[in-house]
Structure 1
């Protein structure tokens, strides 16, 4: 029986993979469709929102979801989620994960990247940064004040995967001992090397880059009154017109992101 099963599996592995037409051949298109349209059914999950101020005046928010089903663990377990670029607890894929995890007895906490929530105003002249770990750390520490004995499993999607892995490897960073593991999902490991592929039309990569750029730019436009004060534009040498007309993420990074956070060009 085992031998027959083994032969069956081997024959399956020799079959040529044929992707679903239209959207099946491009992971970029699948990501865009799921983020835009979502699932046929998007679960409704109830949360309690918390907030805390950073030293620069920025207000960090996160949502806490209580378990909805029995746990298989003897200890209290929490999944801490860091979403992808320009995403939050309101994103479809995040809600799907939270719904499933809570039904299995996990408590979930989800970071809302600065500036992403449409009805929450920023309290400092900046939005989230691709590799900034301070907001994620603040969320964990504030949460542990209420649940000091819980075990933490960190989960990061895409850009959130970069933040989670960077957070775990940062030298000199004081991290809570409650962390028992981490999962990075769809993480882009080398932005510089992968950029040339995102600028190509093959596999609709250019459309995916355009989608990410539009998401990022929409966050900036939403808070432009707070972000483009005369003091900020003068201090960081930012031209609002160039920021709002940026066509790609590299262009947006050059005219805005790297300037607001004090990085040199290339």
Structure 2
């Protein structure tokens, strides 16, 4: 048969059939790796080729304080480079959740009552506990009592947890332990209804509620006036922290603060967490955590309803 009379599709098929099978397998492998690289948001090559480039920093160049920090913290001038085999935010999250080991210790718990009758669990981990080995007790909380004198000068750092997180979360236990090991007295200010504490008021926490952090900061400053007071917020806790600092300005007793993974714009954050299939897994996980918190709210309402009846 004259080749000119053949269908171009047949010619194409005959040409493709001449290509060895292993070539197709290699091509499929390359396509799959490229897809997973994008899907899992891996940044291995970016780290390799651009690790020498610093991340842009937003600060006030005319501020002596900011310039002093930048000159002292050399790490701010470099780019964060993740561990090679977990160079993906999803790998890092999974590793921390399923493989990460948190240090074993017990907090010293103090139940702080707010003006409206709410209860906040303040979980302390002292530098003296870590250096003295008291943290090795795992289980019931250690007594707070007079563990810190009122003239204590060791700096105190208040940690504000993320959404549906408490002092028992792995990332917070690692944060608290390392801070205490480096000379800080750490207090995790659990949100109302979390940390194993019942809801005792009709007011609950949310990203716009800064009154609890304000009350805790003022309480700590009044009780330990000689100790410099700092704060670290993570995730939604960072959002609450910076909102509080913006509201109080120079009136806050907090000398310095750090916002970690702050969802600055909650509307954009909500859109981002729903934009891809993988992000929706986090959306579902956060929802499950909030459902547990909501059940506490339902029980509280039912109790009030039964009392009224």
TM-score (norm 2): 0.60
Is 1:48–1:64's contact at 8 Å kept on the other side of the alignment?
yes
Query: What SS does the corresponding residue of 2:255 show, helix, strand or coil?
Result: strand
Q: 1:143 to 1:172 in 2, by over 3 A?
A: closer
C-alpha distance in 1 between matches for 2:249 and 2:260: 25
Aligned pair partner of 1:65 in 125, 128, 134: 125
C-alpha distance in 1 between matches for 2:265 and 2:302: 30
Is 1:89–1:95's contact at 8 Å kept on the other side of the alignment?
yes
Matched, 1:144 2:205: no
C-alpha distance in 1 between matches for 2:302 and 2:203: 9
C-alpha distance in 2 between matches for 1:57 and 1:148: 25
User: 1:49 corresponds to which residue?
Assistant: 109
Is 2:155–2:185's contact at 8 Å kept on the other side of the alignment?
yes
- The Cα shift of 1:138 comes to 1.8
Mapping of residues 227-238 of structure 1, within 5 Å: 227-228=301-302
Mapping of residues 108-257 of structure 1, within 5 Å: 108-117=186-195, 119-171=196-248, 174-176=251-253, 179-202=254-277, 204-228=278-302
- The Cα shift of 1:194 comes to 2.7
- The Cα shift of 1:190 comes to 0.8
RMSD: 3.0
Q: 1:124 to 1:33 in 2, by over 3 A?
A: farther
Is 1:82–1:155's contact at 8 Å kept on the other side of the alignment?
yes
Is 1:32–1:211's contact at 8 Å kept on the other side of the alignment?
no
Q: Which runs of 5+ in 2 are unaligned?
A: 1-46, 52-80, 133-152
Q: 1:51 to 1:103 in 2, by over 3 A?
A: same
- Greater helix share, 1 or 2? 2
User: 1:31 corresponds to which residue?
Assistant: 93
- The Cα shift of 1:108 comes to 0.5
Q: 1:225 to 1:215 in 2, by over 3 A?
A: same
Matched, 1:93 2:171: yes
- How many residues align? The count is 209
C-alpha distance in 2 between matches for 1:209 and 1:109: 28
Is 1:49–1:63's contact at 8 Å kept on the other side of the alignment?
yes
Query: What SS does the corresponding residue of 1:165 show, helix, strand or coil?
Result: helix
- The Cα shift of 1:222 comes to 3.5
Highest RCO, 1 vs 2 (Cα 8 Å, sep ≥ 6): 1
Which of 1 and 2 has greater Rg?
2
Is 2:221–2:229's contact at 8 Å kept on the other side of the alignment?
no
- The Cα shift of 1:137 comes to 1.8
Q: Which runs of 5+ in 1 are unaligned?
A: 1-10, 232-266
